[in-house]
Amino acid sequence: AQSVTQPDIHITVSEGASLELRCNYSYGATPYLFWYVQSPGQGLQLLLKYFSGDTLVQGIKGFEAEFKRSQSSFNLRKPSVHWSDAAEYFCAVATGVSGGYNKLIFGAGTRLAVHP
């Protein structure tokens, strides 16, 4: 069965430090992968997505992610974190693509806190 695992429930970093959020997926075919960010009380905003091609994907707000098929991973990175990055981050894989639509399976999320 398809699944997404985000091993880190909470992460705290200092402002200006680098960040890596881990995501591992289980999916039989070539995955469509996404990272979303959710601020408190808000909906989800897409940070970046991977469908095919270059395995290093650039997103908004200075985020990037690297798809590693051999490790079934799609980790999110940012070289220098800003206080406004404090939020919850969700990794997701799309299923049902062969049927012409995307049903997203989400990980449990990683809550990021940023210290000044």
Partner 1 sequence: NAGVMQNPRHLVRRRGQEARLRCSPMKGHSHVYWYRQLPEEGLKFMVYLQKENIIDESGMPKERFSAEFPKEGPSILRIQQVVRGDSAAYFCASSPPPHKGNEQFFGPGTRLTVL
CB count in 10 Å sphere of residue 3? 12
Rule CB under 8 A: say whether 58 interacts with partner 1. no
Name the residue nearer to partner 1 (CB basis): 81 or 90.
Answer: 90
Interface pick for partner 1 out of 23, 94, 112, 114 (rule CB under 8 A):
94
CA distance 58 to 17: 19
Residue span binding partner 1 (CB under 8 A) among the ranges 57-65, 66-74, 79-87, 88-96: 88-96
Interface pick for partner 1 out of 49, 64, 72, 75 (rule CB under 8 A):
49
Instruction: Classify burial at 42, counting beta carbons within 10 Å of its beta carbon; exposed 0-12, middle 13-18, buried 19 or more.
Output: exposed
Rule CB under 8 A: say whether 104 interacts with partner 1. yes
Name the residue nearer to partner 1 (CB basis): 100 or 116.
Answer: 100
